[in-house]
A and B are shown apart, each in its own frame.
Chain A
Amino acid sequence: MATVTATETSGPIEVEPKRPYVLVFAILAVVTLVELSVYSLGLPRLETIAILVILATIKASLVVAYYMHLKYDHRLFRVLFTGPLLIASLTLLALMFLFGHLYIKIM
């Protein structure tokens, strides 16, 4: 069977030897340590939450882009992943808006 590249097909990815799997792993490990440090620093609550959510988003993005190969794979899969993620995120925000502090502040 002829060899095909990831951009031509969504079959098994042709893994290039230079893909930065170990580098991504190192970043993930370091960011996890940073998360634990932020947690233990005792910063103001809102700042802590904001920093931790951003760090978690960075970590998740790296895993999805490099380990799940979404960066290299067919764009259909990007749509399939980011579409539901966007809907889910908006739903979560709406829930918090409706039932949480924001609701009280508005009222």
Chain B
Amino acid sequence: MEQTEPAGHEEEHHGSPWPVIIAVGMGVGYVGIVSPSIPILVLGLVIFAGGAGGWIHQDMQRPSSAFYGVAAAVESRFPRVSARKLAIWLFLATEIMFFSAIIGASWTLRLRTTTPGLAFEGPWAQPGEILNVPLTGLNTFILICSSLTMVEALAAAERGDQRKLRLFLLGTLLLGMTFVGIQAFEYQKLYFGEGLTFKSAPVGVNPLYGPTFYAQTGVHGSHVTAGVLAMAYTTRKAFKGGFTKEHHEAVELVGLYWHFVDVVWIFLFTIVYLI
């Protein structure tokens, strides 16, 4: 069915080849993992990195896209829904499933360890016995602070306040880096100091404690790291004047991802550290 463009809106079709190259890189990398073949995996990663770099370089050359607001009604079944924002929410929906699978598997194993007579029977570490709860509580607070700075950055972008937009984005970036840094410090202490490895746990603790801990917090940490990289890109673009009062949807999309990572951590902090 033919639809007309809303008045005053200019559709954007830049026809960039880089997303396709990124997808090819991911596909080749996946083949490398499944085969398994290190050279094919490395080739996939190189293609992926090249595609990502090319896309970032291309996007950095111009102001933020005008593709927001009512634009997406063009090909959408849902009138007045931005296609990009819809894509981000769909992505977050898949992320919910992904994290629930990781957490569900970990909890299943944990419940089995405490069920007499079943496989993997053995004591689970008590909260605070191995993990540094106060330090992680501080890290949780840092992530909450970063959510505030992120949403304030978006508010500044909406007002067209360039100075505060840059300031809050930079603050979010620094807080995110601090979170990752503290987690790396925690890992180093646990792995080399406490003997909590990817395959085992300290004496007297069920060996599944280590793998489940690193699986849950590691997957989240990798998401935060990806968020930090996205934030670094967004911040740099903001400092180059890439966002305006009218064109700043990228700030909101990155923010949605960032807040979601915060939400996941809120549950992980409770599940992994406090319970």
In contact, B154 and A13 (Cβ under 8 angstroms) = yes
Q: Is the CB of A11 within 8 A of B144?
A: no
Contact B144 A32 (CB under 8 A): yes
* A3 to B274 Cα, complex, angstroms: 46
User: Chain A interface mostly helix, strand, loop or mixed?
Assistant: helix
Do the beta carbons of A63 and B266 come within 8 Å of each other?
yes
The distance from the CB of A105 to the nearest CB of chain B, in whole angstroms, is 10
B130 interfacial contact with A, CB 8 Å: no
Decide if A12 is an interface residue (CB 8 Å cutoff). Answer: yes
Cα A89 to Cα B115 in complex, Å, equals: 22
Collect the chain B residues with CB atoms within 8 Å of residue A36's CB: 133-134, 137, 274
A76: contacting residue among B78, B141, B259, B267, CB under 8 A: B78
A residues contacting the other copy or chain, number (CB 8 A): 57
Q: Which of B35-43, B233-241, B245-253 sits within the interface? A: B245-253
A15 x B9 contact (CB < 8 A): no
Q: Please, which residues of chain B bring their CB within 8 A of the CB of A48? A: 274-275
CB-defined contacts of A99 to chain B, threshold 8 Å: 108, 111-112
Q: Which residues of A contact B107 (CB under 8 A)?
A: 92, 95-96, 100
Give A101 to B112 CA distance when docked, in angstroms: 8
Complex Cα distance A53/B103, Å?
A: 14
Question: Does the CB pair B266–A83 fall under 8 Å?
Answer: no
Measured between beta carbons, the chain A residues less than 8 angstroms from B267 are 56, 60
A15 touches B154 (CB 8 A): yes
List, in ascending order, chain A residues with CB within 8 A of B128's CB.
Answer: 39
**Beta-carbon nearest neighbor of A2 in chain B:** B8
Q: Does B30 contact A (CB under 8 A)?
A: no
Interface residue? B260 (CB, 8 A): yes
Q: Which residues of chain B are near A67, meaning CB under 8 Å? A: 147-148, 150-151, 255, 259, 262
Query: Given contacts A92-B100, A92-B104, A92-B107, are A12 and B259 in contact (CB under 8 A)?
Result: no
Contact A1 B8 (CB under 8 A): yes
Q: With A and B bound together, what is the CA distance between A80 and B81 in angstroms?
A: 13
Q: 25 A-B contacts, Cβ less than 8 Å apart?
A: A11-B69, A11-B71, A13-B252, A19-B155, A21-B152, A21-B155, A25-B145, A28-B147, A35-B269, A39-B128, A48-B274, A52-B270, A60-B263, A64-B263, A67-B255, A67-B262, A68-B255, A68-B256, A77-B86, A83-B93, A87-B97, A88-B96, A96-B111, A99-B111, A99-B112
Top 4 nearest A-B pairs (CB, nearest first) are: A100-B111, A11-B69, A88-B100, A56-B270
